Each structure stands twice: as structure tokens, then as C-alpha cells.
Structure 1
């Protein structure tokens, strides 16, 4: 607890302090990392089929980002934005936050924001830490840059009553253990929100974090058939009160 306070994290705050409205059961956030090409070719059409929202956390993995058999083009990323999905920042080069100074983190964020601007994509307002690595500099830099939420790992549901909005935990779908993922999804109860981190479906660049396509669709079908509400990370501002988050209209 003392370490969390030293890092500037908000702990022990009440729903009255952080919530705009009560969090319904079965609220799930879908996030996708690393700009894998299958996000455009396979994932997005499935999400539209089921009517689900999602956030795509993009970066330019060096040196292979030019290989469009593995990674999306900026044209494809822009098309995801035009389809209504959120485009979030994953730094420019997937550099870990704990290996950067504050000016270096600002430069990484600025570079992704510039590419978004040049491709007609809204400025990102949410962030995903590469490799889930965090550092106290993020708690100053991210708000200054206009970021309202940031996602880490942790394999636990997000509790707005206690969790810092710049350290939102998530579960990964990596692998073939279907029951592990379904058990994670089922924890979206009692005011807690389940955030899922997905990489490529499949992931041609990093096969150790792949999610098999057929299994991924099983997860989506489970969410649909069991009446889960599936949103992008930016949509948490409808429920969670954070500095700089605009009040939703509905």
C-alpha cells in the first residue's frame, strides 16, 4: 500500500468519488495490441457482426512494421477508426515505459498522435503499456498529454472503486485454455469490469501471444449469447469519472 501511495496511485476511493453511474453486470472491454494485420482482416468484421465495440492499440513494431503480411498499414488503421472502433496509443516503437525518460515518452506519444492526425484518426485518449511495464513518469505524462485511461495486465477485473484509471488491469486471451478466458469474463459482476487483451488472431509476428481464430469467435459468441455489453476502453468514461473526461450525453 505504501508503495502505491508513493507512486501516486489512487487507492481505497469510493464509488461516489469515481463513478458517474453504477456499473452494470456483464460489462466487458475488448482491447487489441500491436497492430496485427488480422485485426483488420479477421477481427473487425467479426466485431461488426456481433455489434461489439473495441480499442485497437497501435504501434510500429521495429524493424518489421513494413511487413504487411504481419502488421496493418496506416490505411487499414484509419479504416478501423472510420468503422467506429477506438484507436489507442501503444507508443510508437513498443518501447517499454520503464525504459524511457519523461521526454522520451512524450516523443513516443507525439509520434503516434501525429500519424493518427495525418491519417484522419482522432487523437488517442487511452493508452496500453507495452509488455505491461509501468513507471511513475506515466502518471504525470499521460494526463498532461490528454490520456484518461491506461491499460496494464494483472489477470484481474477492473474495480473503479479501488483501481487507478491509469492502471486498468486486464486478462489476456493468449493460448488455447478456453475455460480460463470464460472464467475471466464471468468476473464482470458486482461493479467490476472485465478488460480483455488480445494480440493477433492469429498473430503472425509473435506466435507466443496468438489467439486461435476459431476460439476467438467462440469467445465473441459467448459474449453475445450471454448478453454482455462489449465496449471500447474510451467508453469507460460513461461510467467512471476521471479528470478531463467529458460528461456523456446518455
Structure 2
């Protein structure tokens, strides 16, 4: 099984030309699009997803169950289907798309559309992983802080967040991978400007697999190190 799982690494080491000088202008633009759009999306996800994850972790009941189901639905949808459905909502002929276009945000084939695709792709992953991190924080510490006079907001920032920081870091790392690696949704609503996944697909069609390894290497360097390090770090037992 380990040999089977190691097969991609063998392909990585024995593949085509890795010369960074072979990156084309389109490849470089795709790298910039993915890194910039991914950074904006992950920042927005952290800001809006963290309170939702905390709510799901601390508020049992029917409403939170419905909220969690709504978070799960985009994750469970086939990505091409999700992209098509988003196009019907945010496309130029849709009411929401027309509204955002009037205020200067075109949500198809634009940098804003890339961020939108990354949001829908990565937000559920972050929320569910962050929720698990908050669940692991003992509520007794929060109650003690409240009895000492701290407000709920102060307890969240001074007690809950520090205790959940390792799990939240892992959630952000996974979110980053999902935001940069999404292909199906991006293919439908944000084909231009092409990010790294779409550019890789285009290059494979035009040039073949052996010619795309410089962009593959950049893609892997942008996505693999943080989640791999955090995953290995999480295995360490506390002293």
C-alpha cells in the first residue's frame, strides 16, 4: 500500500524537464493569479468562517444542524455541477450577477470570479476542520474565564483561539490547498484569467505532459509544504 501511495512521488522524480526557465508568460501569469486570488480567498474565509465554525462547535440544536448541512452541500456537490449552478446565480444574465456588475464586480471570467470559486471550494473545508478544532477546546477553561469577569468576546480571543490555534492552522493549510487546487468550479466561472490548475490543463492539451513539469513543481511548492508539515507536527504527542 505504501508503495502504491508513493507512485506519484516516483513520477515526480522521474518526470519531464524541471527547468524553471521553461515557464511561459501564461504560466507566470497563472502563478500570480492563483497566489493572489488564493490569498484573498483564504483571508476572507478565515474572517467569515471562524465565527461560523465556533458557532457550530458551541451551539447544539436544530438551527446549527441545518447550518452545518448548508456548509456540507457545496463540499458534497460535484465541482462541475457546482460551477454550473454558480454561473446561473452569478452569471451576467442572473440578477445577482447584474447587481454585482453594476458595482464593479464581474463574477465570471475575472479575478473576482476566481476568488468566488475559491471561496465556494475552500470555505466548507475550513469551517468543518475549524469546528473540530474548537470542539477539542475544553469548555471548562472558557467558563473559568467568564467567572473571572471576561466577556464572551475576550474569552474567545484570550482562551479559545490560543487553545485551538494548532487545529485552526491545519484548517487554513487545507483551505489554501483547496483554494489553489480547485479546477471544476474555476473551469466554469473563472476560466480567464487562468489559475495554475486551468493553465496546467491547457498546457497538457497543447504541449503534452512532459512539458508542464516546471508549472507542476511550482504548483506543488505552493500547496504541499504547509499541510504536510502541520500533518506531521500534529502526530507529535504533547510533552
Give TM class, smaller chain: under 0.3
Question: Which of the pair has more CA radius of gyration?
Answer: 2
Q: TM-score, normalised by structure 2?
A: 0.24
Higher strand share: 1
Q: Which has the higher helix share?
A: 2
**What TM-score, normalized to structure 1?**
0.24
